[in-house]
Structure 1
Amino acid sequence: MSTFLVFGHQNPDTDAIASSYGWAYLEREAFGRDAEAVILGEPNEETAFVLDYFGVKAPRVVTSAKEEGVSQVILTDHNEAQQSISDIKDVEVVAVIDHHRVANFETANPLYMRVEPVGSASSIVYRAFKENGVAVPKEIAGLLLSGLISDTLLLKSPTTHASDPQVAKELAELAGVDLETYGLEMLKAGTNLASKSADELIDIDAKTFELNGNKVRVAQVNTVDIKEVLTRQAELEAAMTKAMEENGYSDFVLMITDILESNSEILALGSHMDKVEKAFNFTLEDNHAFLPGAVSRKKQVVPQLTESFNA
């Protein structure tokens, strides 16, 4: 049984799984600690493509750290309690490797905390490999590259840090792939939405944020055809309403992102639509509005909502 569990956030995306897998390997190789990467949900289609491409078996899904017999955990790609494992408050967080805002987070003991404003948690993990003189296996290089591609939409997102293109170049060489060719193939693998139910669509990549006392659910789906997704608006709204009622969300914001054109449509329901409209300086018509140039939830949606809700 492992001493440490390493995991990303709920509804894990490619970066959450890649960064935890890579950091667990680094814990074992560089620090000699018995660490296992696990996940808090099944991989999405994009991540499944990545794991299959590089021949990596998906980490096992866990729902409780205590049930696994561990008392210490390491978080990657998140730090907010509501995004983490169900019993996060009952275990000791010994390290955090993240690239998001820090919120709703405190510990009883000192910890290793590395939070950097870069394009992905995978970027941080890769640099830690280099700093500790640990060679990156081909399959882990592939995972880390995929995490970076996913979170920056192939380095096109405004979340892309100045250091990320060089990181991507080095990882692509280590993984033995062409960055552009592989990156586009990977992103397209995650846009097959037709087979998914509305409940699945709004939960593919969703996080809950505490905004001035309100639980706001912000989800994102990637597509190559926004209009096609909006043909299912009635289904999506029904699923969003159901999720709000069952989980106590005050508002639900769905970001439908065109990965080719780098634009998004915002579909929103809830008690504070005036604050949503103010956040993006648009008017919702039939509960949705176009948000040009927006591809990043972290940088182009959540900060704006936070400011508006706190006003």
Structure 2
Amino acid sequence: MANTLVFGHKNPDTDTIASAIAASYFLNQIGNDTEAVAQGEPNAETQFALDYFKVAAPRVISSADTETVVLVDHNEAAQSVDNLADVTVEGIYDHHKFAFTNATPLYITAKPWGSVATILYYEFKQANIEIPSDIAGLMASAIISDTLLLKSPTTTTYDQPALEALAKIAGLTNYEAYGLDLLKAGTDLSSRSDKELIDGDAKSFEMGGHQFRIGQVNTVDIDDVLARQSGIEAAMVAEGYEDFLFVITDILNSNSKAIYLGDANQAIESAFNATLTNHVIDLPGVVSRKKQVVPPLENQF
């Protein structure tokens, strides 16, 4: 068994799993003994990428069975393994706001770029370590996923060069066509239950004393998802969170609508300068939870 586990947040997305695999490979190349693992099964989009590049999914854990760990794509305890307080965090690769505190020194690479895979690409480049084609393909997939094919406001000037270089290594002659297929793979929601829908990409936040749950799903037809509103709301209620915002994002037109359940309707409306109607709020131009959903809520609460 490896000495150190490398993993991303709960309810893993493509960047989480790809970056854990890439970071583990990178760390092993510089003399460490690590294993990439995941806090959940791959979603449909991620499985598409794993299958395309013929990479096995990491084993799933809920708690770390090593004394040391490396975190990717998260740094908040609520999004990490259940026994995080009992292990030593040796390193973090992340692109989110920082809420981590630690009693011992550790290696941290945190940059506000489009994906953790972008950060890792430049780590490989700086260390002059060659990236295997299959891992490069997963990293390219992660950048595509987190930046919505470079259309998200989270996209930076570092992401496109990284994506182009990784696509070349992976043998993707047309990464735009592959990227659209990848994103569409994650939008087939017909086989997913209402609970799976709201939990597939959800994170918890504490904002001004409010325990917020913010889920997000990508689709090519928002109305198809809203047709399931009663079942989705029942699943949201069953989760037991004080405030639950479920964001439904149209990846083709870069717009969202969200279902909100909680007792802060006025604050939600003020945060987004829009009106809730039958628990639904219109969010034109919103695609990024990190940049366009969480910040206005944090400012409001």
TM-score by length of 1: 0.95
Give 1:110's aligned amino acid.
P
1:239 aligns with 2:239: no
Partners in 1 of 2:266 and 2:58 — Cα distance? 42
**1:199-218 Cα distance to aligned partner (Å, 9 max, x none):** 00000100001111221000
Structure 1 residue aligned with 2:278: 286
Structure 1 stretches of 4+ with a deviation exceeding 6 A read none
The 2-side partners of 1:284 and 1:298 are apart by 21
Deviation per CA, 1:224-254: give whole Å up to 9, x if none: 000000000000000001102xxxx210001
The letter for the 1-side match of 2:186 is: G
Query: Deviation of residue 102 (structure 1)?
Result: 0.7
Deviation at 1:271, TM superposition (A): 2.2
CA distance in 2, matches of 1:229, 1:119: 26
Structure-2 separation of matches of 1:211 and 1:289: 20
Aligned to 2:145: 150
The 2-side partners of 1:299 and 1:144 are apart by 21
RMSD over aligned CA atoms reads 0.7
Q: 2:190 aligns with which of 168, 191, 194?
A: 194
- Taking the aligned partners of 2:17 and 2:210, their CA distance within structure 1 comes to 28
1:297 to 278, 289, 292: 289
- State how far apart, in whole Å, the 2-side matches of 1:275 and 1:78 are: 27
Q: Structure 1: 5+ residue runs without aligned partners?
A: none
Aligned letter for 2:259? L
Residue in structure 2 matched with residue 129 of structure 1 by the alignment: 124
Which residue of the other structure, out of 91, 94, 101, is the alignment partner of 1:98? Answer: 94
For 2:39, the equivalent position in structure 1 comes to 40
Q: Count how many residue pairs are aligned between Structure 1 and Structure 2.
A: 300
Paired residue for 2:255? 263
**CA deviation digits over 1:68-100, x for unaligned, max 9?**
2x1110000000110111111111111010000
Deviations 1:135-175 (A, max 9, x none): 00000000100111000000000000111111111111111
Paired-residue identity, %: 53
Distance 1:80 1:215 in 2: 14
2:161 alignment counterpart: 166
Alpha-carbon contact 2:275-2:282 (below 8 Å) kept: no
> SS of the counterpart of 1:279?
helix
Offset, 1:275: 1.6
Output the amino acid matched with 1:81: A
2:113 to 85, 96, 118: 118
Please tell me the residue identity of whatever aligns with 1:162: T
> Match of 1:301, SS?
helix
Matches within 5 A, 1:52-67: 52-65=51-64
What's 2:8 paired with?
8
Q: Which residue of 2 aligns with 1:23?
A: 23
| Residues 1:250 and 2:250 aligned together | no
